[in-house]
């Protein structure tokens, strides 16, 4: 039974629970207050009756001294008796107005034989009910005992208990009903947040651009609920941001897989075609064998470069314990000079100038990877600008960081493409051939390698001035000379 009640209670709402708990607490408080009030009222009425008995006995004592007994009866239902007492006995003087069961009066009179003060007590008289008894000494050896009924006190206390029970019951009922409504209103913001949470649970989060259109609104509930609402909405904003990042990552992954498949399929198909041509040419025109072998080697090398770049990017993204970097002491100015010399030899149609800067800049970095970044940026400037376009390189130190700038005076990069030039397989010129434009991984590799060194690479572009800026942290104790 108790378990069933507990299960029913557990299934009730929070507002109902709080209202019931408040009702039980109020009932306990009312019970304590009612008990204290009833006890005080009973004690007060008994003291009044004692005072009344004392006044009555003052007059009855004189009557007993004159007549030997009390001839005047004070009130209806009251009893008065005069006893001759000794150490062992109490003898009732007659005639006396006493009930048939006068043992309580006699016992009080006998007690007066051993007391010099008045005695008061409550006793039950058979057939009459509760009586308040008071005894006093009229003269030595003579005791007056008066008995007053307590029926009026019991009736008053009973009526008081009835009024209290009805009043407290109505008060508890009103408190539970009104309190439940007030609690329901106070808990409405929490219910709204619960509805919002249910709405979020039913929202399809698998969509690529999924966002949560629901928010917990309102101003009711006080500061605690407002704080909870703010935390709830902050959590939803965080979920929204996470979903947006996930959707963007999924889109980038799909685009990456599609581009990688396309980029790998092209050289593979070329290798297959050249292999077929080589087989045919070897059987019928042996003199063309070297030409087809050279093409096969070129396509295989191109595919190898592409796979190397993809592997490098994967290792950088995976944040491997053994990072694909071989850190050593190197001179950044010397690396820029070597990259410039290689560029002049490979791209004689693009004049390159190296701006004056530090004579030496010692740093802790991977020389091969930084050289790869510089070659990619310089090659990018040559590939995407017409012949004769000036290219420049510079090295400087700014705010404790080494800064390398690669600039060209070409037509610039459109604003819509600037934010995506470092994406993998992204080409500003979609129509550019792969033989000339590359696979679209050069800038992505450069960005990842610079980030692996703890640096940044930025782009600013406008017609006549496209600048790639590499910023690397300069270790303490190593400065330019």
Q: For residue range 184-206, list pLDDT tens digits in order.
A: 776 677 677 777 666 666 666 65
For residue 59, what pLDDT band results from cuts at 50, 70 and 90?
confident
Greatest mean pLDDT among 177-181, 276-280, 377-381 lies in: 377-381
- To the nearest whole number, what is the mean pLDDT of the chain? 78
- Mean per-residue pLDDT for 277-286? 59
Q: What is the pLDDT of residues 435-447, one digit of tens each?
A: 444 556 778 878 8
| pLDDT above 70 for 70 | yes
pLDDT for 439 equals: 58
Q: Which residues contact 299 (CB under 8 A, 6 or more apart)?
A: 267, 270, 271, 274
Q: Where are the alpha helices (DSSP H) in 187-221?
A: 188-201
Residue 83 pLDDT more than 70? yes
Please state, in angstroms and rounded to a whole number, the distance separating the CA atoms of residues 90 and 95: 15
Helix (H) or strand (E) holding 306: helix 289-318
Contacts of 306 (CB under 8 A, 6+ apart): 263, 264, 267, 439, 441
Of the candidates 141, 94, 150, 83, the one whose C-alpha atom is nearest the C-alpha of residue 123 is: 150
* pLDDT-derived band at 36, boundaries 50, 70, 90: very high
Between residues 293 and 382, the one the model is more confident about: 382
Q: Are the CB atoms for 108 and 147 separated by under 8 Å?
A: no
pLDDT at residue 110 in the model: 86
* Nearest by Cα to 400 from 455, 449, 452: 455
Percent of the chain whose predicted confidence (pLDDT) is above 70:
71
User: When comparing pLDDT for 297 and 6, which is higher?
Assistant: 297
The number of angstroms, rounded, from the C-alpha of 391 to the middle of its chain's C-alpha atoms is: 55
State the pLDDT confidence band at 431, using cuts at 50, 70 and 90. Answer: very low
Which pLDDT score is estimated for 471? 92
Number of H helices, E strands in the chain: 12, 12
- Amino acid 98: pLDDT: 84
> Does 60 have pLDDT greater than 80?
yes
Say whether pLDDT at 259 is over 80: no
User: What pLDDT does residue 437 have?
Assistant: 47
Instruction: Please tell me the predicted confidence (pLDDT) of residue 287.
Output: 62
Query: Could you tell me the pLDDT band of residue 405, with boundaries at 50, 70 and 90?
Result: very high
Q: What whole-number percentage of the chain has pLDDT above 90? A: 6
Q: What is the pTM of this model?
A: 0.46
Query: Is 466 within 8 Å of 410 (Cβ atoms)?
Result: yes
Residue 136 vs residue 213, higher pLDDT: 136
Residue 265's pLDDT band (cuts 50, 70, 90): low
Q: Is the pLDDT of residue 302 over 70?
A: no
Cα–Cα distance between 244 and 237 in angstroms, integer?
A: 10
How confident is the model over 220-258, as pLDDT tens digits?
A: 556 666 677 777 777 777 777 777 777 776 776 676 666
Using one digit for the tens of pLDDT, what is the confidence trace for 312-360?
666 666 555 445 678 888 888 998 888 888 888 888 888 998 888 888 8
H-helix or E-strand spanning residue 11:
helix 2-11
């Amino acid at each position: 039974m108790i378990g069933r009640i507990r299960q029913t209670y557990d299934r009730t709402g929070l507002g109902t629970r709080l209202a019931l708990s408040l009702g039980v607490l109020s009932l306990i408080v009312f019970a304590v207050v009612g008990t204290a009030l009833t006890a005080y009222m009973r004690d007060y009425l008994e003291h009044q009756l004692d005072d009344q008995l004392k006044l009555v006995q003052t007059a009855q004592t004189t009557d007993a001294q004159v007549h030997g007994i009390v001839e005047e009866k004070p009130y209806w239902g009251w009893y008065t008796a005069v006893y001759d007492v000794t150490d062992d006995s109490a003898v009732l003087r007659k005639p006396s107005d006493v009930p048939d069961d006068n043992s309580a009066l006699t016992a009080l009179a006998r007690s007066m034989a051993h007391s010099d003060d008045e005695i008061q007590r409550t006793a039950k008289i058979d057939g009459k009910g509760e009586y308040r008894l008071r005894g006093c000494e009229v003269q030595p050896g003579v005791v007056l005992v008066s008995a007053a009924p307590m029926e009026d006190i019991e009736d008053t206390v009973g009526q008081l208990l009835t009024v209290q029970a009805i009043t407290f019951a109505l008060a508890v009922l009103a408190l539970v009903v009104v309190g439940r409504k007030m609690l329901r209103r106070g808990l409405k913001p929490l219910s709204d947040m619960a509805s919002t949470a249910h709405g979020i649970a039913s929202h399809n989060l698998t969509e690529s651009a999924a966002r949560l259109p629901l928010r917990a609104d309102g101003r009711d509930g006080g500061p605690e609920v407002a704080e909870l609402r703010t935390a709830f909405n902050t959590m939803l904003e965080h979920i929204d941001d996470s979903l947006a990042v996930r959707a963007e990552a999924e889109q980038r992954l799909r685009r990456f897989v599609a581009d990688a498949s396309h980029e790998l399929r092209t050289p593979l198909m070329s290798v297959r075609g050249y292999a077929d041509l080589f087989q045919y040419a070897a059987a019928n025109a042996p003199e063309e064998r070297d030409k087809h072998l050279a093409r096969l080697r070129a396509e295989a090398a191109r595919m190898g470069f592409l796979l190397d770049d993809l592997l490098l990017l994967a290792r950088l993204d995976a944040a491997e314990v053994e990072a694909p970097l071989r850190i050593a002491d190197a001179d950044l100015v010397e690396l820029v000079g070597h990259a410039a010399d290689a560029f002049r030899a490979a791209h004689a149609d693009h004049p390159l100038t190296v701006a004056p800067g530090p004579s030496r800049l010692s740093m802790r970095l991977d020389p091969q990877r930084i050289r790869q970044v510089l070659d990619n940026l310089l090659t990018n400037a040559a590939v995407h600008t017409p012949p004769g376009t000036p290219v420049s390189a510079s090295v400087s130190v700014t705010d404790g960081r080494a800064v390398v700038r690669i600039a060209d005076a070409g037509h610039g990069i459109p604003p819509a493409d600037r934010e995506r030039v470092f994406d993998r397989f992204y080409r500003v010129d979609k129509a550019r051939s792969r033989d000339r434009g590359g696979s679209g991984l050069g800038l992505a590799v450069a960005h990842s390698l610079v980030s692996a060194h703890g640096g940044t690479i930025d782009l600013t572009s406008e017609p006549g001035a496209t600048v790639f800026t590499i910023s690397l942290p300069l270790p303490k104790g190593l400065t330019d000379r």
